[in-house]
């Protein structure tokens, strides 16, 4: 059975999808972008500022599902510019201290023209 996860502490979905879904004892998040859930605006202009907001949003979804960053098994990271890789990694490393499996790719464009997006698979 699937369970949909929603928290007002993270941005609402901007399309026909959920913030996250629980399947068994696993959580699958949708990609989180650096939208401040209180204002609906993009948080920050630099990769560091935007990555911090992404991590806050992921943290809120993980918490709502009853898990945390330490239980992350796999992440997929999308960057608008691979030149931001090092700075993005500095922010990422503060949150994903258990070093889950990860893919990180540069993409042509992200929703709302943000600089980064991250999705997570975590155990509950």
- Among all residues, which ones are annotated catalytic? 104
What distances in angstroms separate CA 81 from CA 10, 107, 124, one per listed residue?
Answer: 24, 7, 32
Q: How far is CA 96 from CA 3, 38, 111, 114, in A?
A: 24, 24, 23, 21
Give just the sign of the alpha carbon dihedral 9, 12, 27, 109: negative
Task: Give which of 71, 122, 121 is closest to 98, Cα–Cα.
Answer: 71
Residue 6: name the closest of 23, 19, 21 by CA: 19
CA atoms of 99 and 75, how far apart (whole Å) = 10
């Amino acid at each position: 059975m699937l369970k949909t996860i929603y928290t007002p502490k993270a941005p609402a979905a901007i399309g026909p999808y959920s913030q996250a879904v629980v399947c068994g004892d696993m959580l699958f998040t949708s990609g989180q972008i650096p939208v401040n859930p209180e204002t609906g605006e993009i948080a920050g202009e630099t990769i560091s500022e935007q990555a911090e907001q992404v991590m806050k949003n992921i943290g809120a979804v993980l918490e709502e599902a009853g898990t945390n960053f330490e239980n992350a098994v796999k992440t997929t990271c999308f960057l608008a510019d691979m030149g931001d890789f090092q700075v993005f990694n500095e922010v990422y490393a503060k949150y994903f201290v258990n070093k889950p499996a990860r893919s990180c790719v540069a993409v042509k464009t992200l929703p709302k023209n943000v600089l980064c997006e991250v999705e997570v698979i975590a155990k509950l």
